[in-house]
């Protein structure tokens, strides 16, 4: 039985045209899955469905056998926009989530230690008293990840969290996410447009067909040992093959759509 099961779901908005049509996928506990596809293929819609921010039209999503139909602390989302409250310090932004989830079950001292543990995990403990306006974009995303992890979610959902960052900062955060995944063994699902990012981070890459009525076109197993070193992977034949497979899928789908227009 899959840890997370997406069972033949369809999602339609106004007008009745389905954004997603017949999406079926099982995700194992501790797995890192990247979802990739052209703009408009419903990647973020699928993530929002898993997060419970919107409900499926038909089909069902279940986590450990329980249906997902509303937001909950067992599924934390990190968006491209860090969504930090600008008037609260780094510490207090994380504290907000911790107090919400653990306010009645952990003492103040336990909550403090947990906040600092998660800030240290993303290397932001030193900036705990700074306001969001006083730190860089990459640091803000680290805080956003710390806030999400501090909820102890069963699944961490990442919606293009590094899309607005420069290449070097993005690389550092990719390495940080790999280290966190190796340490915590948690389940992660990431939306991305970046082929190299998908291959570097994921155990499996889910490739979506073009919308509307998008579905899963292919699923690629990334059979590359962990830990992964981005420099060594540049010449790794398994990495090169995986990258070529994703590029071929995306290019052929794009060419098909252009020919049909």
Q: Which domains does the chain have, with CATH numbers?
A: 30-74+153-261 (3.40.50.300), 84-152 (no CATH)
Q: What is the pLDDT of residue 254?
A: 57
Phi/psi zone of residue 59: left (φ > 0), alpha (ψ -120 to 50 degrees), beta?
left
pLDDT of residue 154: 95
Is the pTM value of this prediction over 0.85?
Answer: yes
Q: 173 to each of 11, 58, 95, 183, how far by Cα in Å?
A: 32, 36, 22, 15
Radius of gyration of the chain (CA): 19
pLDDT by position in tens, the chain (length 261): 689 999 999 999 877 889 999 999 999 999 999 999 988 889 999 999 999 999 999 999 999 999 998 999 999 999 888 789 999 999 999 999 999 999 999 999 999 999 999 999 999 999 999 999 999 999 999 999 999 999 999 999 999 988 878 889 999 999 999 999 999 999 999 999 899 999 999 999 999 999 889 999 999 999 999 999 999 998 999 999 999 999 999 988 655 544 444
Q: How many residues does the chain have?
A: 261
pLDDT, position 260: 43
170: its two tokens: 């993005």
Distances (CA, A) of 189 to 60, 68, 241: 18, 16, 22
**CB-based contacts of 43, cutoff 8 Å, min separation 6:** 35, 36, 37, 191, 208
CA distance 259 to 199: 28
* pLDDT confidence of residue 1: 65
């Amino acid at each position: 039985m899959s840890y997370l099961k997406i069972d033949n779901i369809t999602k339609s908005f106004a007008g009745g045209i389905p954004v997603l049509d017949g999406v079926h996928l099982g995700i194992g506990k501790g797995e890192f899955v990247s979802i990739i596809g052209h703009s408009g293929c419903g990647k973020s819609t699928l993530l929002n469905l898993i997060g419970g921010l919107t409900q499926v039209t038909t089909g069902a999503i279940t986590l450990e056998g329980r249906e997902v139909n509303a937001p909950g602390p067992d599924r934390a989302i990190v968006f491209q926009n860090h969504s930090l409250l600008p008037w609260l310090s780094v510490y207090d932004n994380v504290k907000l989530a911790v107090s919400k989830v653990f306010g009645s079950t952990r003492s103040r001292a336990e909550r403090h230690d947990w906040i600092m543990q998660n800030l240290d995990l993303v290397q932001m403990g030193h900036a705990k008293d700074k306001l969001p306006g006083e730190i860089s974009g990459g640091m803000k995303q680290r805080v956003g990840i710390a806030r999400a992890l501090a909820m102890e979610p069963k699944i961490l959902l990442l919606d293009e969290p590094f899309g607005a960052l420069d290449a070097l900062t993005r690389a550092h955060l990719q390495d940080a996410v790999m280290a966190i995944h190796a340490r915590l063994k948690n389940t992660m699902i990431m939306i991305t447009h970046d082929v190299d990012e998908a291959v570097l981070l994921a155990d499996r890459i889910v490739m979506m067909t073009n919308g509307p009525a998008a579905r899963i076109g292919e699923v690629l197993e990334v059979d590359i040992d962990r830990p992964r070193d981005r420099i060594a992977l540049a010449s790794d034949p398994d990495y090169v093959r995986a990258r070529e497979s994703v590029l071929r899928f995306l290019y052929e789908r794009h060419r098909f759509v252009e020919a049909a227009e």
